[in-house]
Amino acid sequence: MQTETPDRILRINAVLDRTGLSRSTMYRKMQNGTFPKSVQISKRCVGWRDSAISEWLKNPIFFDVDDRK
């Protein structure tokens, strides 16, 4: 029996390492809707779903947050 592993939450440094983006470029893309939105982990802490970053990496040019609903 195979169990599904939960989606990991990546912190900003891990996201920047995986994508090769600068912090400012990543936040600009989030604002434009061309990069996955962050999820609130705690009051002062955010992260990104590993699955969302993987999806973005498959085709970053045509990624659109509105298409993911």
Task: Using the CB atoms, write b or e for 20-55: b if 16+ within 10 Å.
Answer: ebeeeebeebeeeeebbebeeeeeeeebbbbebbee
Is 41 a domain residue? yes
Please compute the mean of the pLDDT values over residues 2-18 and round it to a whole number: 88
Structure tokens at 9: 């939450």
Domain that holds residue 41: 9-64
Distance of alpha carbon 1 from alpha carbon 60, whole angstroms? 34
Give the single-character DSSP code of 59: -
User: In whole numbers, what is the pLDDT of the chain averaged over residues?
Assistant: 90
pLDDT digits (tens, 9 = 90+) for 13-42: 999 999 999 999 999 999 999 999 999 999
> Domain total for the chain?
1
The dihedrals phi and psi of 20, each to the nearest 5 degrees, come to: 80, 10
Please compute the mean of the pLDDT values over residues 45-67 and round it to a whole number: 89
In the chain, pLDDT over 90 holds for what percent of residues? 74
Is 38 a domain residue? yes
Residue 21, amino acid: L
